[in-house]
Amino acid sequence: PCTANTISKIALGIADNPVTTFAIAAKKILIAPSMHLSMYKNEILQENIEKCKSRGIEFIPPKIEENKAKMANVDRIVADVIRIIREDKKGKKVLIIGGATYEAIDDVRGITNLSSGRMARALAREAYERGADVTLWASFESFEYIKSKKFRSVNDIVKLIEEENENYDVVINCAAISDFVVEKKEGKISSGKEIELKLYPAPRINPLLKKIAKKVIAFKLEEKEENVIKKAKELIAKDGIEYVIGNTIESMGSEEAKIWIIGKEEAIKELHGKKEDIAKEIIDLI
| Mean pLDDT in residue range 44-50 | 97
Instruction: Give 218-253 pLDDT, tens digit per residue.
Output: 999 999 999 999 999 999 999 999 999 999 998 888
The pLDDT, as a whole number, for residue 254 is: 86
93-283 CATH, one of 3.40.50.280, 3.40.50.450, 3.30.420.40, 3.40.50.10300:
3.40.50.10300
Instruction: Give 93-139 pLDDT, tens digit per residue.
Output: 999 999 999 999 999 999 999 999 999 999 999 999 999 999 999 99
- Residue ranges per domain, the chain? 4-72, 93-283
Question: What are the backbone angles phi and psi of residue 240, rounded to the nearest 5°?
Answer: 65, 35
The pLDDT, as a whole number, for residue 253 is: 82
Tell me the fold of 4-72.
Rossmann fold (3.40.50)
Helices (H), the chain: 4-12, 18-25, 37-41, 43-54, 74-86, 118-129, 154-163, 205-209, 225-239, 275-283
Tell me the average pLDDT of the chain.
94
Residue 22 CB contacts under 8 Å (≥ 6 apart), including other chains: none
The pLDDT, as a whole number, for residue 284 is: 96
- Say yes or no to pLDDT of 266 above 80: no
Residue 264 CB contacts under 8 Å (≥ 6 apart), including other chains: 236, 242, 243
The pLDDT, as a whole number, for residue 265 is: 80
| Mean pLDDT in residue range 176-185 | 94
In 10 A of CB 131, how many CB atoms? 18
